[in-house]
Amino acid sequence: MTTRYNFAYLDEQTKRMIRRAVLKAVAVPGYQVPFGSREMPLSYGWGTGGVQVTASVIGPDDVLKVIDQGADDTTNAVSIRQFFARTTGVATTTRTEAATLIQTRHRIPETPLCEGQILVLQVPIPEPLRWLEPREAETRKMHALEEYGVMHVRLYEDITRHGKVAQTYEYPVIVDGRYLMRPSPIPKFDNPKLDRSPALLLFGAGREKRIYAVPPWTRVRSLDFDDHPFEVEHWDRACDLCGARGAFLDELIVDDKGGRLFICSDTDYCARRRPAGERMPGA
């Protein structure tokens, strides 16, 4: 591979700076570590934080998987996978269990992760208190004082208004009994996968210049109330392609008469459950 760029694009000093932030994040689970986020050759909002974290931890022996919305073949997943294939030459895969390093946007794979794997999540807004208090100077104080009452009040207000918590993604969690954390906008469906995950979970927010982490086997509790326990979304139907129940389903509108198709958002999981020879619609 002839390239004028360093392995994984970033220079070694930058990688060292990011690794130091990652180590701090692992040492203080759920705490947002500010880091000197670099301007990357892809746009902010496209996963610059995740890409920087991946670039700083990837090695020549890694096997990389990149997904967006659970799918390996969405344009942004393709683009990021190509970026690393070009700048590192590492092997890439779509199989969750074959990957040592998985970069993702908005989903955690259905196939359970295992020890030794690293999942890198792309994060747009790392601060869980942002919609309640826009000022960073304030929210940092609130984290320091573990002052999370406002978030409980917000959830409580949902219950009084709607009879349930009306938060469907980036559902707030408490990490290791201490820090309030915003899971990158994964659906709350994926929140239980954060809890005592055997894999290391790293969160990178490039534009906001923050890194945070959930080390393996760390307790992650989704906020709830005794009389309104946390629950995930469910579908009254199975995947129309593979018949899976209990997987996160995407809804496709297939005609102009309200025809709908429900299919697994995790394309790797879905494809391998289907008999050989069947293909995705549109593929």
Partner 1 sequence: MYVAVKGGERAIDNAHRLLAEERRGDPDVPELSLAQIEQQLALAVDRVMTEGSLHDRELAALAVKQARGDLIEAIFLLRAFRTTLPRLGVSLPLDTAAMVVHRRVSAIFKDVPGGQILGPTFDYTHRLLDFELAAPGSLVTPPAGVENGGEGEGGTAPLPRVMDLLDREGLIESEPPSEPGAQVGDLTREPLTFPARRDVRLQNLARGDEGFLLAMGYATQRGYGRNHPFAGEIRHGEVTVSLAPEEFGFAIEIATISVTECQMVNQFKGSATIPAQFTRGYGLVFGGAERKAMAMALVDRALRVRELGEEPTSPTQDEEFVLSHSDSVEASGFVQHLKLPHYVDFQSELVLVRDLRAAHGTRAASAAPGGR
Binding site for partner 1 (CB under 8 A): 5, 11, 34-41, 43-46, 48, 68-71, 73-76, 78-79, 82, 105-107, 124, 134-137, 162-164, 166, 168-169, 185-189, 207, 209-210, 233, 235, 248-254, 265, 280-283
Chain centroid, CA 283 distance in Å: 25
206 is catalytic: no
Q: How many CA atoms lie within 13 A of 222 on its CB side?
A: 23
Q: How far is the CB of 217 from partner 1 (least distance, A)?
A: 26
Q: Which is nearer to partner 1, 1 or 283 (CB)?
A: 283
* 239 tagged catalytic: yes
Which residue is catalytic, options 204, 242, 258, 282?
Answer: 242
30 is catalytic: yes
Q: Are 81 and 54 within 8 A, CB to CB?
A: no
The answer to whether the CB of 56 falls within 8 A of the CB of 40 is: no
In the complex, least distance from residue 62 CB atom to partner 1, rounded to whole angstroms = 21
Distance CA 30, CA 236 (A): 34
Of the two residues 41 and 177, which places its CB atom closer to partner 1 in the complex?
41
Question: Does residue 114 have an active-site annotation?
Answer: no
Count of all residues that appear for the chain in the document: 283
For partner 1, give the closer residue by CB, 14 or 218. Answer: 14
Query: Nearer to partner 1 by C-beta: 176 or 238?
Result: 238
Beta strands in the chain (DSSP E): 33-34, 63-68, 91-92, 101-105, 118-122, 173-175, 179-181, 200-205, 210-214, 220-222, 249-253, 260-264
Residues annotated as catalytic are: 30, 239, 242, 264, 270
